[in-house]
Amino acid sequence: MEGRSDLLRHLEAVLFIADEPVPTADLAVLFELPSNRIEELVLSLRDDYEQSRRGIVLRSVAGGWRLATHPDSAPYLERFVGEQRHGRLSQAALETLAIVAYRQPVSRGQLAEIRGVSSDGVLRTLIARGVVIEVGRDPGPGQAILYGTSQVFLERLGLNDLSELPELADFMPDSKAVERMESGLGPGL
């Protein structure tokens, strides 16, 4: 059995890495402890943050626990975020956006298949920034959510509609590559 402080640090690490609020029940399963024990630990972690005046707070939101920055630091965070590369599209985000733009409607699974890695993180960013939106459901089994680009996306790029996206063929290095790519492209666009 691990001591209380060990459990606390593992709990902190899990909450640190989580990108969504973590329900008590999930933590109970993870640490193989009853929910009331988890509640106790989480609350003691929260008190610890408060008492030691940390920049991080532990919040109970939307049915779960989540770490967040202390509101007092907001001015610094806003300046930091405004100046940092946070605003820039990463290469992964740019590629994901490009695939969504040219192959929409597209599911997470299709994106992962094309890029060879999960695109969930960048997709979430693109959705949060309003440039990618849900556009429907796959009629097939599983009913996967399908994604497409938003009106905001068109406006930012100065396009009236998707038909004004440049022809990919104009950007291909050579004709052979065009053939290879077309065979990989669906009938969509």
Partner 1 sequence: MTYAVKLDVFEGPLDLLLHLISKERVNVADVCIADVTEEYLRATAALGEVDLETASSFLILAATLLELKSLKLLPSRSTVDPELRLLLEERDRLLHKLVVYATFKKVAVQLENRMTANLGYHSRAAELPDELVPAAPEILRGLTAQKLAQAAVRALTPPDKPSVDTSHITRITVSLEEMVTQLRSRLEREGSGSFRQMFGSARSRIDVVMALLAVLELFKSQAVDIEQERPFGEISLTYRPPASGAA
Enumerate binding residues for a second copy (CB under 8 A): 5-6, 8-14, 16-20, 26, 29-31, 52-56, 67, 69-70, 72-73, 76-77, 79-81, 83-86, 91-92, 115-117, 124-125, 128-130, 133-134
- Residue identified by tokens 């609350």 is 43
Rounded to an integer, what distance in angstroms lies between the CA atom of residue 126 and that of residue 90? 11
Picked from a second copy, partner 1, none, the partner binding residue 55 (CB below 5 to 8 A depending on kind) is a second copy
Closer of 17 and 187 to a second copy (Cβ): 17
Shortest Cβ distance from residue 185 to a second copy (Å)? 18
Find residue 148's DSSP bridge partners. Answer: 133
Closer of 36 and 69 to a second copy (Cβ): 69
Shortest Cβ distance from residue 17 to partner 1 (Å)? 5
Peptide bond just before 139 cis, omega within 30 deg: no
Closer of 30 and 43 to a second copy (Cβ): 30
Shortest Cβ distance from residue 69 to a second copy (Å)? 4
Closer of 103 and 115 to a second copy (Cβ): 115
Rounded to an integer, what distance in angstroms lies between the CA atom of residue 46 and that of residue 65? 10
Helix (H, G, I), strand (E, B) or coil at 140: coil
Shortest Cβ distance from residue 10 to partner 1 (Å)? 12
Read off the tokens for 13.
């690490």
- Residue identified by tokens 């989580």 is 18
Shortest Cβ distance from residue 36 to partner 1 (Å)? 26
Q: Is 58 exposed, middle or buried (0-12, 13-18, 19+ CB in 10 A)?
A: buried
Tell me how far apart the terminal alpha carbons of the chain are, to the nearest angstrom: 59
Picked from a second copy, partner 1, none, the partner binding residue 26 (CB below 5 to 8 A depending on kind) is a second copy
